[in-house]
Amino acid sequence: MVLRGGVDSARSWLVAVSCCWINFFSALMYKSSGVVYVGVLQTLEVTREEASWPLTLLAVFIFTTAPVAGVLALYVDIWKISLCGCLLSSVAVCLCFWANSVIYLTACLGVVQGFALGLLTLHNVIINQHFEKHRATASGISYAGPTFASIVYPPLVQVLFDEYGLRGSLLLFGGIMFHSVAGAFLQMEPNPRKTCPTYKVVPREPPLPEDAQCSKPGGESFDEKLKDGELTPLNPPDYATDIQQKVAASDVAAKLETEVVCSKDVPKLQRNVSIFFMPMFYLICASFVTVLFTMTTYLTVVVDFAVDYGVSRINAVLLISTYSMADLVARLGSGWISDRGFVSRGNMMSLHFLIGGLVLFAMPVFTSYAGQVTMAVVSGWATGCTMILISVLLTEHIGLDR
């Protein structure tokens, strides 16, 4: 039996943790892409270009499948989509145990796993279904999963590669990713919204002739009777009033039926497509692209950048861990600032975009190791604060139903 709670309830927080759980286990491969790349290069004895194909297509298919997942969510429960994504991604990685060429690895690790992980991009919708007041905080918990993964998995992947080789490690990775399935069952929707009451439409009776009169069983007219040469009005009996009320109710029901039919005639697809004519949709999408581009660029160049200025390679690698820790703290701890209304979510986003840009400008100036650590902390914090607000702003400006 699935327990159902309302929005912002104790169970809602369990749903947020389940999203974090799924993100943590499903992110194993792409958060360890650098280590996997080296393992493929050494084991299959391929060129760097060939070794990069599985991981490149993994990212491509994740973002290509995301719109497909959005369309499926209009017709299928999201938790079922998440369940399929968790199962398919785990099986795809396990099948890499039999990989004997980069083409096989590209098909399983890149295409199939990328398609499956693309089905897991609906967590922002789940968070918004279960939260109203604490959406930013819950979004931070959900997005903390990949950050945990970036801290835990790279050294673990390297240890497993050294112990079991590429193929044995990929089989173990698939088994680890199977743990994500448990989180999918906790993503049930909250109590369904109240629906409109059902009305029974009473068919209209054929109209009476204009000269018709309603009479009592005794034959007296309801309108008037002759008494001592004078016409005396008669009050209509109770069942005459009932007839009038029934006719009036029939008119209202018929009108209501017409309005409902007209409302259903509006195509649902047309409403969903209307988001492409909303400037705010493109602004939020551009913000998300900027966050991802900045994060990827920083993590790609920071090690070589630090080494160029005399920092040892071990200490340079620790800059990534420092960045990820600050990112994690921001995702978990910054949401309450906007949730409690201290700063609006739009201003929060703008402020941390400014901070992130200033950090990139300052990196060539603060070239000492202490300066680079400081830049890593500030940049990680700015990334975490902006990342968790994307889905919340989409809900505010676009609407949860779209």
- Average pLDDT of the chain to the nearest whole number: 77
d(CA 372, CA 349): 24
pLDDT digits (tens, 9 = 90+) for 139-177: 878 878 887 888 888 778 878 888 898 889 999 999 999
pLDDT digits (tens, 9 = 90+) for 248-267: 555 544 454 444 444 444 55
Q: Residue 1 has what pLDDT?
A: 34
CB 273 within 8 A of CB 221: no
Q: Is the entire prediction scored with pTM above 0.85?
A: no
Q: Residue 97 has what pLDDT?
A: 92
Work out the percent of the chain whose per-residue pLDDT is above 90. 20
Mean per-residue pLDDT, 297-325: 77
Residue 50 has pLDDT above 60, yes or no: yes
d(CA 307, CA 311): 5
In Å, how far are 121, 159, 401 from 278, measured between CA atoms? 22, 49, 15
Look at 122-131, 255-264, 322-331 and tell me which has the smallest mean pLDDT.
Answer: 255-264
In Å, how far are 150, 182, 340, 395, 399 from 389, measured between CA atoms? 20, 26, 14, 10, 15
| Chain centre to alpha carbon of residue 268 | 20
User: Rounded to the nearest 10 degrees, how much is the dihedral formed by the CA atoms of 364, 370, 375, 376?
Assistant: 120
Look at 53-67, 271-285, 361-375 and tell me which has the smallest mean pLDDT.
Answer: 271-285
Q: Residue 343 has what pLDDT?
A: 79
Look at 161-170, 264-273, 290-299, 328-337 and tell me which has the smallest mean pLDDT.
Answer: 264-273
DSSP, residue by residue, 183-196: HHTT----SPPPPP
Between 382 and 392, name the one with better pLDDT.
382
- What does DSSP assign to residue 206? P
Range among 199-203, 325-329, 379-383 with highest mean pLDDT value: 379-383
User: What 3-state class would DSSP assign to 225?
Assistant: strand
- Other C-beta atoms within 10 Å of 342: how many? 10
pLDDT digits (tens, 9 = 90+) for 197-241: 444 444 555 555 555 555 554 544 444 554 555 555 555 555 455
Q: Residue 337 has what pLDDT?
A: 78
Residue 193 has pLDDT above 50, yes or no: no
Instruction: Find the helix packing angle between 123-130 and 135-177, rounded to 10°.
Output: 140
Using the structure block, give the residue that is written with the tokens 């199962």: 87
d(CA 252, CA 10): 43
Using the structure block, give the residue that is written with the tokens 């809602």: 12
pLDDT digits (tens, 9 = 90+) for 74-121: 888 888 999 999 999 999 999 999 988 889 999 999 899 999 998 998
d(CA 285, CA 236): 68
Q: Residue 175 has what pLDDT?
A: 94
CB 22 within 8 A of CB 142: no
Q: Residue 185 has what pLDDT?
A: 87
